[in-house]
A and B are shown apart, each in its own frame.
Chain A
Amino acid sequence: MSGRSLFRPHLVFSARRDGRADEAARDRAEQFRQIMLPHMDAAYSLARYLTRDATAAEDIVQDAFLRAFRGFDTWRGDNSKAWLLAIVRNCFLNSVGPNRAVAMTEADMVALADPADAQNPETIVAGRREAAMLRHTIEQLPEPFREAIVLREMEELAYKDIAAITNVPIGTVMSRLARARQMLGQMLMPEPGASREARS
Chain B
Amino acid sequence: MSACPDKLLLIHGLADGELDAANTLAIEAHLKTCADCRAELALIEAMREVLRDDALTHRAPQALRNRIDAALDAAATPTSSAPRRSAPPPPRAPYALAGGGAIAAHVWNGRWASGAMVGIAASLALMIAMPQLTHTGTEDQLVQSHIRSLMVGHLTDIPTSNRHVVKPWFNGKIDFAPPVPELADEGFPLVGGRLDYIDDHAVAAIVYRRRLHTINLFVRPAGTLSLPFGETRRLEGYSLVRWTKGGLEYWAVSDLDPGELQLFHTTFVARAVP
Instruction: Report which A residues bind B (CB closer than 8 A).
Output: 1-2, 4-13, 15, 17, 22-23, 25-27, 29-35, 37, 40-45, 48-49, 57-58, 61-62, 65-66, 69-70, 129, 131, 134-135, 138, 149, 152-154, 158-159, 171, 174-175, 177-178, 181, 184-185, 188-189, 192, 196, 199
Contact = CB atoms under 8 A, between A and B. Distances in A.
A6 B108 CA distance: 10
B52 A61 contact: no
B101 to A, nearest CB: 6
Interface stretch (B10-18, B216-224, B237-245): B10-18
Contacts of B63: 58
21 contacts: A2-B67, A8-B80, A9-B80, A13-B101, A15-B78, A22-B79, A25-B76, A25-B78, A30-B84, A33-B84, A34-B154, A35-B152, A37-B68, A41-B57, A69-B75, A129-B50, A138-B51, A181-B47, A184-B47, A192-B39, A192-B46
Contact of B59 (A44, A153, A192): A44
B58 A45 contact: yes
Contacts of A7: 109
B75 A27 contact: no
B78 A11 contact: yes
Contact of A159 (B18, B43, B57): B18
A43 B65 CA distance: 12
Given A17-B92, A25-B78, A189-B43, 18 more contacts: A7-B109, A8-B112, A10-B105, A29-B81, A31-B152, A40-B60, A44-B61, A48-B58, A58-B64, A61-B64, A69-B72, A134-B53, A174-B12, A181-B44, A184-B47, A188-B50, A192-B46, A196-B46
Given A62-B68, A181-B12, A181-B43, A2 B79 contact: no
Interface in B60-113: 60-61, 63-65, 67-68, 70-82, 84, 90, 92, 101, 105, 108-109, 112-113
A192 B55 contact: no
B13 A174 contact: yes
Contacts of A23: 79
A45 B77 contact: no
A17 B101 CA distance: 15
Contacts of B101: 13
Interface of B: 1, 8-9, 12-13, 16, 18, 39, 43-44, 46-48, 50-53, 55-61, 63-65, 67-68, 70-82, 84, 90, 92, 101, 105, 108-109, 112-113, 148, 151-152, 154
Contact of A27 (B9, B51, B82): B82
Contact of A131 (B56, B64, B90, B148): B56
A33 B81 contact: yes
B80 to A, nearest CB: 5
Contact of B72 (A32, A61, A185): A32
Contacts of A152: 16
A7 B56 CA distance: 39
B89 to A, nearest CB: 9
Nearest to B53: A131
B148 A13 contact: no
Contacts of A185: 1, 43, 47
